[in-house]
Structure 1
């Protein structure tokens, strides 16, 4: 029996990501040191006797999928945080920069926000949002949030350097 997957359910997202692991779920089970049957059971919502523990197994599985370059591995996290009313935004590294680079980051964040708002306004012009428009809105808003997260991390790095007596010249 095949069960329909729900893209908003973290376990279904994890199941799909694990299936994209090189060699599939069977190879991932071997990497985790468990039988393929046990992993299949843990990845299915309908099996009450097997559950994935967050601290150990879920985190380990996600690290393995990320290290293997599995496309969409982070969708599990996105579904999990969305289920609880939050958004997932990757945290770009702050990196070293000067005042000019910091200013460019501010401008980029403003530009990304403006593009997201423009995309949304254009989509709403006919009173409805199509599938294509929705995907574009999602992309633009995610880009805006990511640029703001980058700006936040740069600000955090500057704050930490400032506390140590260094200035903006080497953020």
Structure 2
């Protein structure tokens, strides 16, 4: 999905659509609809508006589309609110599970010496899920870390 289509979908899929989002962005619903209409050549969503739209909706499709257009991915960092030993253990157990899923997908895809696009898609999904789990672990550990210099014995 390209960025223009993603912006259109974010607005139109939001409960209440442009009617409910536009006032929160400081514009009329008609202007917002024009800004996210991929066929409109006179009104354009600014980066600041796209940022606010993403923040209000919590919908990352615009960021995903932009990253995808440049060969990258966007991954949420995960919730660091629960930064206890048990929460970290839970994330590590998830990492083991995701690692196994990735290995299973790669093994299954290569078993017949032919890698299909569908198989590659499953491998990619498993790899991204593993990466998200690693980012979640780092996020929780960062929340637990002492301030720089406190207890640092290096």
Would you say the 8 A contact 2:83–2:141 is kept in 1?
no
Task: Choose from 65, 79, 84 the match for 1:97.
Answer: 84
**Structure 2 counterparts to residues 1-171 of structure 1, below 5 A:** 7=1, 9-55=2-48, 57-66=49-58, 73-94=59-80, 95-98=82-85, 102=88, 105-126=91-112, 127-129=114-116, 131=118, 133=119, 136-161=122-147, 163-165=149-151
Structure 1, residues 59-87: CA drift from partner, whole Å, max 9, x if none? 21112212xxxxxx212211111222221
Give the superposed CA RMSD. 2.8
Q: With structure 2 as the length reference, what TM-score do the two structures score?
A: 0.77
Q: With structure 1 as the length reference, what TM-score do the two structures score?
A: 0.71
Residues 124 and 41 (structure 1), Cα distance of their counterparts in 2 relative to 1, 3 Å cut = farther
C-alpha separation in 2, matches of 1:96 and 1:48: 48
C-alpha separation in 2, matches of 1:23 and 1:106: 39
Give 5+ residue unaligned stretches, structure 1.
Answer: 1-6, 67-72, 167-171
Count matched residues: 151
- What is the CA distance between 1:134 and its match in structure 2? 5.4
